[in-house]
A and B are shown apart, each in its own frame.
Chain A
Amino acid sequence: MTEDSSTATTLGAREHARAQGGARAEAMPTLPASSWAPPPDGVDPATLTWAETVAGGGYTSKLISRGSTVRLTDVAGDACAHLLLFNADQSWERLNVADTVKVLWQAYLGTGHLLLSDQGRVLASIVADTSVRHDALCGTSSRLRNEGRYGDGAAQGPSPAGRELQVLAAAKHGMAGRDVGPGLSFFKGVRAESDGALTWIGAAPAGSFVELRAEMPLVVVIANVPHPLDPRPEYTCSTLEVLAWSGPGTAASDPLRTASPEAERAFLNTDDYLAARGIR
């Protein structure tokens, strides 16, 4: 705070602030998204709408259009994407994990699984998956759990809890803790024994990815934090890459729509909503 300080004056402070622009960090968004290189195979860079690397212990969110494909990539093999989805028009309609496993008669997520809302509609479809190690049962971590596991669970601390980050992300879309319910986690697998006991199966190799296609306009919330059953004593979570590009919704001829009678009716309900709402 001496007269020699470069930030002692408004002009000096401005110069100091502006000199920081252009720096690079391991985790950061790329803007415009179309400048992300290289684009995914077969994707026109001009259609990219989201390009971001999310730090372990970080979160992100975005409102995306119907037909968007979101690719999540576990770059270094220790990411864990804790996902929430909301109808962008009416956030009280959100991912219903119980219906997502019950209606489709399947507890383990993979290609072809439909992520259902509480209104009997498809929020998003899993259209690609090279990981096949995901979890719809254990949700994310609480501050209390992380305090017990790692000594701290606050958003600003060294080992943030997933719920703390999801509530912050939801708040930026006008929501609050009541809107943050059970979610899904990608890139860390759990399997159930016949007696209900859960077994941790960890991650697939680095570079695994999963792609979700938005079937209606969505608010996407992602916290990248360790899975609650991760047995390692250290808070271990590596960078998550998020790319999205725009496109059409699932086509009328797509076999996803007729994969099961439940899927067929879920898409019928979604189409019915979109038609009445005027979303193409």
Chain B
Amino acid sequence: MTETLDDVISDHVVAARAPWSAVVRAGELLTIVDLGGNQAVDCLLYNAADTAERYSAPDTIAGQGNLFLSTGSRLRSGLGRVLMTVVSDEVGRHDTIGGACSKESNTLRYGHHTKYQHACVENFLAEGSRWGLTKRDLVSNINWYMNVPVDPDGSLGIVDGLSAPGLRVALRAELDTLVLVSNCPQVNNPCNGFDPTPVRMIITR
């Protein structure tokens, strides 16, 4: 996964706690780099030509018969179409059942004292609004680098991550895809190692 300068369409470092978005054209590759290690990258995908068609965690899970995302996972829309494919993964597995943190759910999970902490839904709403997206357009998302096991009795939770500094995951767009990202600001659980750090987003052709 090395890229030459000629191949690079864009290369951004997303600050800790910040949002990011871009349209990745069909055939282009989006490489995400976990610069500091164990940094959850919350991610939603939309058909750039019609954002009513968007990522669907359940269609993706049912389509592959498995909860975890890794190399070969087809990231499907609610219409069942493949928006992007995971073409390489240096971590092993990523989550798509845990959703995004929000100020509102933080009050349930940790207490009402967390209400004024920043959260992924804030990033999705702010960054999505630049593309005409609203609250109605937010659905269960992907959490790159986040580790959410399910025990035999159904217990699940966000536990210590499997990632490390520099590990990458690369996605190929199958349709022109709007990628919406929140570099997760959560500090109340291990999804960011309790220390949100920057991530790098590289689009290549």
Contact = CB atoms under 8 A, between A and B. Distances in A.
Contact of B154 (A108, A180, A266): A108
Contacts of A99: 99, 102, 105, 108
B104 A269 contact: yes
Contact of B102 (A118, A138, A196, A198): A118
Interface in B103-130: 104-105, 107-109, 111-112, 121
Given A120-B102, A138-B62, A265-B112, A105 B137 contact: no
B73 to A, nearest CB: 11
Interface stretch (A16-24, A142-150, A217-225): A142-150
A98 B100 contact: yes
Contacts of A177: 52, 78
A60 to B, nearest CB: 21
B108 A120 contact: yes
Contacts, number: 143
B68 A196 contact: yes
A133 to B, nearest CB: 12
B1 to A, nearest CB: 24
Interface in B75-97: 78-81, 93, 97
A142 B79 contact: yes
A120 B80 contact: no
A107 B156 CA distance: 6
Contacts of B61: 137-139, 198
A196 B94 CA distance: 11
Given A103-B105, A120-B104, A181-B140, A265 B111 contact: yes
Interface string B6-43: 00000000000000000000000000000000000000
A121 to B, nearest CB: 8
A97 B149 CA distance: 16
B59 interface: yes
A140 B80 CA distance: 11
A52 interface: no
B62 A103 contact: no
Interface string B143-179: 0000011101111111000000000000000000000
A43 to B, nearest CB: 31
B187 interface: no
A230 to B, nearest CB: 10
A106 interface: yes
A178 B154 contact: no
Contact of B140 (A119, A145, A182): A182
B80 A262 contact: no
A143 B154 contact: no
Contact of B58 (A182, A192, A266, A269): A182
Interface in A151-166: 163
Contacts of A195: 66, 68
A178 B105 contact: no
B58 A140 contact: yes
B137 A178 contact: yes
A101 B61 CA distance: 15
B107 A265 contact: yes
A149 B108 CA distance: 40
Given A96-B99, A98-B99, A229 B108 contact: no
Contacts of B138: 118
Contact of A178 (B58, B107, B136): B136
Given A101-B97, A269-B104, A179 B62 contact: no
Contacts of A183: 58
Given A181-B139, A182-B56, A262 B109 contact: yes
19 contacts: A96-B105, A97-B99, A97-B140, A98-B100, A107-B156, A108-B153, A116-B105, A116-B108, A118-B104, A137-B58, A142-B59, A144-B79, A194-B149, A196-B93, A196-B150, A197-B65, A262-B109, A269-B104, A269-B107
Q: Which 6 A-B pairs have the closest CB atoms?
A: A98-B99, A139-B58, A144-B80, A142-B80, A120-B104, A108-B154
